[in-house]
Amino acid sequence: MLVVAVSSRALFNLEDGNTIYEQEGAAAFGAYMRKHENKPLRPGVAFHTVRKLLALNSHGMHDKVEVILLSSNTLDAGARVMKSVTHYRLDITRAFFTSGGDRFRIAKAANVTLFLSTNPAEVKKALGCGIASATVIPTSRLPAPETESAPLFIAFDGDSVLFDDSAERVNQLEGLDAFRASEMSNAKVPLGDGPFKSVLLALHEIQTSFEDRPDKPLRIALVTARELAVHERVLRTFRTWGVTVDEAAFCGGLPKGPILEAMNAHLFLDDGQHNVESARHFVPTCHVPHGIQADMAAAA
Domains, the chain: 2-137 (3.40.50.1000), 145-299 (3.40.50.1000)
Q: Which residue has the higher pLDDT, 244 or 210?
A: 244
- Rounded CA-CA distance 81/78 in Å is 5
What is each CA distance from 134 to 123, 167, 239, in whole angstroms? 6, 21, 26
Percent of the chain with pLDDT over 90: 72
Question: What integer pLDDT is reported at residue 90 of this predicted model?
Answer: 96
For residue 289, with 0-12 CB atoms within 10 Å meaning exposed, 13-18 middle and 19 or more buried, which class applies?
buried
Question: What integer pLDDT is reported at residue 155 of this predicted model?
Answer: 98
Average pLDDT over residues 240-249: 96
Contact 136, 115 (CB under 8 A): no
Among the listed ranges 76-85, 119-128, 289-298, which one has the minimum average pLDDT value? 289-298
pLDDT tens digits for range 193-223: 999 999 999 999 999 888 777 778 899 999 9
Question: What integer pLDDT is reported at residue 214 of this predicted model?
Answer: 74
Active site residues: 157
- Provide the sign of the torsion angle of the four alpha carbons 217, 222, 223, 227, taken in this order: negative
pLDDT at 59 over 70: no
Average pLDDT over residues 120-139: 94
Question: What integer pLDDT is reported at residue 61 of this predicted model?
Answer: 58
Percent of the chain with pLDDT over 70: 94
Question: What integer pLDDT is reported at residue 146 of this predicted model?
Answer: 53
Contacts (Cβ under 8 Å, ≥6 apart) of 112? 3, 4, 5, 68, 70, 131
pLDDT tens digits for range 257-298: 999 999 999 999 999 999 999 899 999 999 999 988 888 888
Mean pLDDT, the chain, whole residue set: 90
pTM above 0.85, yes or no: yes
Average pLDDT over residues 227-236: 94
pLDDT tens digits for range 135-176: 999 876 665 555 556 789 999 999 999 999 999 999 999 999
